[in-house]
A and B are shown apart, each in its own frame.
Chain A
């Protein structure tokens, strides 16, 4: 991995910055410990509307409503939350053909212990839903990935997922 000298806070700022450069202006979130710096940066950000969630599926509804009135929304969650969100993703996000950015912490990724089963289910579930997904490991790929993920979401009128890893977040939890 490149840019290994950046600390986790700087990486969180770079990830939030990449999302903002992609036009994202509303983020609904539920924390994973690896995303604390990212959510902290989001809370301090004065421009993006932040909606802290109780359960991830409600975030699909919030993002859908925001999109329908012209926002560019993202749902930030762990992959367990992706599993919690599946009905909403299908019967609102996909059914209404809405572009939504799913920013998913990839627990159970290689090198991430404790969530191997959720990790195992993640990509097959995204594939089964027909959701294109892109694995983000390299800090230098942040801006390009978010920019093009949103463009792809709009072009395809579908949710698109970006999977965040410890590599790009620089976390050890």
Chain B
């Protein structure tokens, strides 16, 4: 199967279009590339293989007025295929789920995934009842599908079939816990809410 486009080209094309969207990105090349093209405290890196789309679903349900984007990989989605029907049941209007299908477990050395043998994620997504499920093979197609998804305001699934390989970008900058604090403070600032408070000592005098 021909895979004429690269993941980092796709990410570069959409980076300027997402506004203040919250973006959950799976660990590995995708997270470094995304954060290089769209540096933001609204980016969260997911370390658990499979949970990128689930973390994004939790955000989308928790902040239904805010656009949330999951940047997933094929190895990750294969680990948590059952997350697709769960997203379908909740139909989060503010969630765009992108999977970059490069046919390999890139972060663990390049072994083939099942998609290299013909698994069709778009057919899987449609099969579980996700109405807006689309595939892209060129950067132009991907860019168009993503722009349509942003405008649609319904849950959308996009599978971008890409060739393996990473962009020439710096590594992901933050340790996990710092990423969490930066992300949560970003939510507090942009949503005007208080999530994390320091505990007040018992000796503190109430005035």
Contact = CB atoms under 8 A, between A and B. Distances in A.
Interface in B79-101: 80, 82-83, 85-86, 89-90
Contacts of A96: 176-177, 179-180
Interface size class of A (residues with CB under 8 A): 20 to 34
B22 interface: yes
Contacts of A69: 22, 58-59, 62-63, 66, 187, 191, 195
Given A65-B56, A95-B176, A70 B61 contact: no
B58 A62 contact: yes
Interface of B (DSSP majority class)? helix
Nearest to B199: A155
- Between A49, A52, A62, A155, the greatest number of chain B beta carbons within 10 A of the residue's beta carbon is seen for A62
Interface of A: 26, 49, 51-55, 57-71, 73, 87-88, 91-92, 95-98, 155
28 contacts: A26-B61, A49-B61, A52-B86, A52-B89, A54-B86, A55-B82, A59-B54, A60-B51, A61-B46, A61-B48, A64-B58, A65-B24, A66-B59, A66-B61, A68-B44, A68-B187, A69-B66, A69-B187, A69-B195, A70-B184, A70-B187, A70-B195, A87-B48, A91-B47, A91-B48, A95-B176, A97-B177, A97-B180
